[in-house]
Structure 1
Amino acid sequence: MLSGMKQQVVVGKDGEIEIQTSEPAEGTVVEVIVLVEQDGAETKATQSVPQDATEYLLSTEANRFHLMTAIQNIQAKNKLVNFTPEEWNEEYNLRS
């Protein structure tokens, strides 16, 4: 089962981002997605009605179907791709 949290924080010195929480427990692996507000780039319509990232991702039937299918595949351990950290770095490492 997936769970989530949402916090608005200010980027600190040297780009540091700190999230304050008592959950999940220390040592838990989490995935972090950072959404950056663009000053002056939004229209008045988007400023007056901010859209949550989850709402956006579920806003179309095609997206809902794709995301729900992916969640079901993960829960059922179907169609998963396994690789070692070394294989990942070999294939996708962006560093030169």
Structure 2
Amino acid sequence: MGVLNTRKNKKYSYQPRYYKGEGNPFELKHKFDDYRVTVGDNKGLKNKFGSAIDDFKYNGDKTGANRRILYIIAALVLVFLFIIDFDLSIFSIES
């Protein structure tokens, strides 16, 4: 009955009739996978975070999106502090 063993999928050597391309026509792959560093055979959470940080460090931000996001976050934090009526005088240096 095979309680301990799982069934293996059958493999066929089917070749499409009119396919003249290279590689496997049935391989599902995103078109930007060749340019990404974080997609691939890196296993584990630590390796994925390490490759993402390396990609962030060595590929410069050409559009200024990171700076724009930081400005938006800073503005939202200031609005939040204004809404909760936070006293900013604790940061001033007075004796």
TM-score, normalised to structure 1, is 0.25
Larger of the two Rg values belongs to structure? 2
TM-score, normalised to structure 2, is 0.25
